Amino acid sequence: MNPQRSQVAIVGAGPAGLLLAHLLAARGVESVVLEARSEEYVAARVRAGVLEHSTVQLLTDAGLGNRLREQGDEHRGIHLQWPHERHHLDFVDLTGRSVWVYGQTEVQKDLVDAAAARGQDVRYEVSDVALHELTGDRPHVTFTAADGTAHRLDVDAVVGCDGSFGPSRAAVPEGVRRSWERTYPYSWLGILADVAPSTDELIYAWHPDGFAMHSMRSPTVSRLYLQVPNGTDVAQWSDDRIWDALAARLGHGQDGWELTPGPITGKSVLPMRSYVQTPMRHGRLFLAGDAAHTVPPTGAKGLNLAVADVALLAPALAALVRERDPALADAYSDAALRRVWRCTHFSWWMTTMLHTSGDPFDEQLQLAQLRWVATSEAGATGLAENYAGLPIGF
């Protein structure tokens, strides 16, 4: 079984897994990262786009902020839009905190480059990952390497950073774990387009036909989303149909504003779900990122929550593994879940405020809420505080 030993086994080389390995290495803790997919596959996944204030600070402090600050785009806030009205919420005026637009693919690239530079042990294209003796004296992971050889890795701790579909969630026994789940009655159709953004900052738009959002990746690449029914076949949405729907929903022609279409280079449909599993620690197993929670992307929280978990977990594991001090590790799950539930609520709140269901009463309530949030300092500050992100460990 090719027996090996390390201090921490990390399952998953997405942002949570690679950032954890980075922060552990900075604390003198050795880890091995096990990833089911290829490095190229993981790097190419187009996902999150907005980094919270605290995420940018943490990446900068960890030496991962250079390209972010060179190529990322700092935004003061967002636009809230509904038919005939658009209001800018300035997070910096309201809370003193900004956000940065810098795609998850870029964050992943920075993490991969840093891992290579420090000689991080990352095993790609592994299979049959299984977690063993998580409450025993010899916690270990078994797996099949890309070359087909069987391996056993003995460690002091195992961290599940394996997203929504990895083995870690189920490694917490049924009698121990508890989960909450909500599936929303709509999905997002997301596009990447080779066209300059038609807006300076993100537009979140309510419209009777459905939600739409204008984001971006660079001065020449736009990222846009529109609400579609669950089960939508992306092949049913031609480029023209997509741009027509986006123009209508985002307010093309309103007060002289125009949405400029362009070549679509990527299309995908993303179902929307809220999911939280507790506890985020069981014996020597710890969960971080999407392995423990999933949020609908309306609040731009998914990636940022993964960072916040890892920011708490790295010092906890360092104390546990190096000084045999379990205090922070014992407190990790409760501390992480405070932010998880705050972000789960905010993501649900943004999603239910902005997505239409066809119910006329709901639509009036949504418009009333949007008008209050856009014109009341208290309402706007509530959104700003949550969107720009509360301090990690709040």
Considering the complex, what minimum distance in angstroms separates the CB of residue 288 from ligand FAS?
Answer: 7
Question: Quick one: what does residue 223 bind among ligand FAS, ligand PHB, none, with the CB cut-off 5 to 8 Å set by partner type?
Answer: ligand PHB
Strands 8-11 and 3-5: unpaired
Under 8 Å between Cβ of 181 and 275? yes
Which DSSP string corresponds to 284-341? Answer: TEEE-GGGTEE--GGGS-HHHHHHHHHHHHHHHHHHHHHH---HHHHHHHHHHHHHHH
Is 109 part of the annotated catalytic residue set?
no
Angle at 286 between CA 282 and CA 290, to 5 degrees: 120
Residue 68 interacts with ligand FAS (CB under 6 A): yes or no: no
| Residue 133 to residues 154, 164, 171, Cα–Cα distance (Å) | 10, 22, 10
Is 297 part of the annotated catalytic residue set?
yes
Under 8 Å between Cβ of 8 and 24? yes
Answer for which of 50, 129, 155, 295 binds ligand PHB (CB under 6 A) is 50
Which of 184, 186, 204, 225 is flagged as catalytic? Answer: 204
**Number of residues in contact with ligand FAS under rule CB under 6 A:** 33
Q: Which of 272, 377, 282, 292 is nearest to 339 (CA)?
A: 292
Residue 12 interacts with ligand FAS (CB under 6 A): yes or no: yes
Answer for which of 95, 298, 333, 344 binds ligand PHB (CB under 6 A) is 298
Per-residue string for binding with ligand PHB, 176-215, x by CB under 6 A? --------------------------x------------x
**Number of residues in contact with ligand PHB under rule CB under 6 A:** 9
Is 41 part of the annotated catalytic residue set?
no
The number of beta carbons lying within 10 Å of the beta carbon of residue 184 is: 19
Question: Quick one: what does residue 161 bind among ligand FAS, ligand PHB, none, with the CB cut-off 5 to 8 Å set by partner type?
Answer: ligand FAS
Burial of 43 (0-12, 13-18, 19+ CB in 10 A): middle
Under 8 Å between Cβ of 242 and 189? yes
Considering the complex, what minimum distance in angstroms separates the CB of residue 46 from ligand PHB?
Answer: 8
Q: Quick one: tokens of 104?
A: 């998850």
Considering the complex, what minimum distance in angstroms separates the CB of residue 302 from ligand FAS?
Answer: 3
Question: Which residue, 163 or 197, is less far from ligand FAS as judged by CB?
Answer: 163
Residue 49 interacts with ligand PHB (CB under 6 A): yes or no: yes
Binding site for ligand PHB (CB under 6 A): 48-50, 202, 215, 223, 297-298, 300
Q: Interface residues with ligand FAS (CB under 6 A)?
A: 11-17, 34-37, 42, 47-49, 104, 126, 129, 161-163, 165-167, 270, 289-290, 297, 300-303, 306
Supply the residues annotated as catalytic.
Answer: 75, 204, 297, 301, 387
